[in-house]
Amino acid sequence: MPETIHAEFLAHIKVAEKTMERCSIELAQAADLCFDALKAGRKILLMGNGGSAADALHLAAEFTGRYQTQRVGLPAIALTSDAAALTSIGNDFGFDMVFSRQIEALAKKGDVCIGFSTSGQSANVIRGLERARIKGCKTIGFTGREGGEMPEFSDICLIVPSEITSRIQEMHLLMGHTLVNLVESRW
């Protein structure tokens, strides 16, 4: 058992180092994009499936609540949190539309839409980012592997250099916390 624990931690550290090297500039740009939008009175919309849905919820809470410092709540909505919207849209329009339909209803020009997909291939997230661009939103993608389709629909795309879903999700949370920290530190 100690070998497995050691191997898991070392694998995490290795991917964290590679992600830091690959994504630092884009992460700073994403923070600028979010800060500017929030300062202008806009909001952040977040979406993802499964563990990525949990990441969207987690980071929305960090924006609306706080991360490390006392400050005003910042407007962020996880599009994964409304079970009635998800199930009614999924039933009436198809699961591929659960995020794009919410963005159609909630997004305004200048908002920031953040999509999480470890593969970069989640059709509902891709459609959500596409709809966000049509609405005049800025888009940020969090993905892994080779990025999938996500870079095409993201103004800024943070691609974790790993093929392992759990490592990608760990880096998404680390980068998400760093994103909130960078925004919060300027508030």
pLDDT at 187: 87
Q: pLDDT tens for the chain, 187 residues: list them.
A: 889 999 999 999 999 999 999 999 999 999 999 999 999 999 999 999 999 999 999 999 999 999 999 999 999 999 999 999 999 999 999 999 999 999 999 999 999 999 999 999 999 999 999 999 999 999 999 999 999 999 999 999 999 999 999 999 999 999 999 999 999 999 8
Count of Cβ atoms closer than 10 Å to residue 53 Cβ: 19
User: What is the C-alpha separation between 151 and 167, in angstroms, rounded?
Assistant: 19
pTM: 0.96
* Domains with residue ranges and CATH for the chain: 2-184 (3.40.50.10490)
Distances (CA, A) of 103 to 29, 70, 82, 160, 177: 23, 29, 13, 25, 23
